[in-house]
Copies of this chain bind each other. A is one copy, B any other.
Amino acid sequence: MARNKYPEQTLEQILKVSTLIFTEKGYEKTSIQDIIDALGMSKGAVYHHFRSKEDILKAVMDKELGRAEQLLARLIAETEAPNAREKLIRILEQMILDSGLQQQSMDHILSAQIKNPQFVLEGLKKGVQRDAIIIAELMLQGKQDGSLQVEQPLECAEVFLLLTNIWINPLLFERNREETVSRLHFVQHMMKGLGADIVSDLLIQSITERHAQADSYRNTNQQINL
């Protein structure tokens, strides 16, 4: 069998097509043969990069985490604001808006994968630990420009991310809209008390809307019970 000259491109294409199929057909119902068929590649070409369907999913999720990180880095570089607090508010709002569309498909995949919490937990943990350092850095700037009064920025950022990514996650905890809104208001109130008034009403609204969408995915995917 002839070796592929462009392994990077092959990899990209496998991930792209797999994401599409996982999203449309559901992770559980997709076989690695479905992916091979849709790609029009040889079995060997796919197995050269991945040992299993699970391996592909892991790569899809890693890529997604990387993309979220890039988005955060770009927003930090590009967002202009009078002070660090305003900057953080705008970045958080923008994160939800920008990640909206692609996140929807990720939520869909994630919801199918919720029975395999290894991925979920690992992904969430990585996200929390990586992003916390970046947000804590902005909080420190806020202390310097006087717009924030956080005493333990790293701890505060970790708790904020843990609560928004795990506690408020409708894929992990089953909740209705009202319960979600009430929890988001609690986070807003709590962060304010901690000297980090960074949860805007717009952010609460955007997160609530995204959750309603994720919820509709979950309802089409009946077998979930974490």
Contact = CB atoms under 8 A, between A and B. Distances in A.
A118 interface: yes
Contact of A155 (B122, B166, B172, B186): B186
Nearest to A115: B118
A184 to B, nearest CB: 10
Interface string A174-210: 0000000011011001100110000000000000000
A226 interface: yes
Given A117-B118, A159-B167, A190 B186 contact: no
A121 interface: yes
For the complex formed by this chain, how many copies does it contain in all?
2
Contacts of A140: none
Given A151-B189, A193-B194, A125 B173 contact: yes
A93 interface: no
A72 interface: no
Interface in A127-142: 129
Interface of A: 115-118, 120-122, 125, 129, 151-152, 155-156, 158-159, 162-163, 166-167, 172-173, 182-183, 185-186, 189-190, 193-194, 226
Nearest 10 A/B pairs, CB to CB: A155-B186, A193-B193, A117-B121, A117-B117, A152-B186, A117-B118, A162-B167, A155-B183, A121-B121, A190-B194
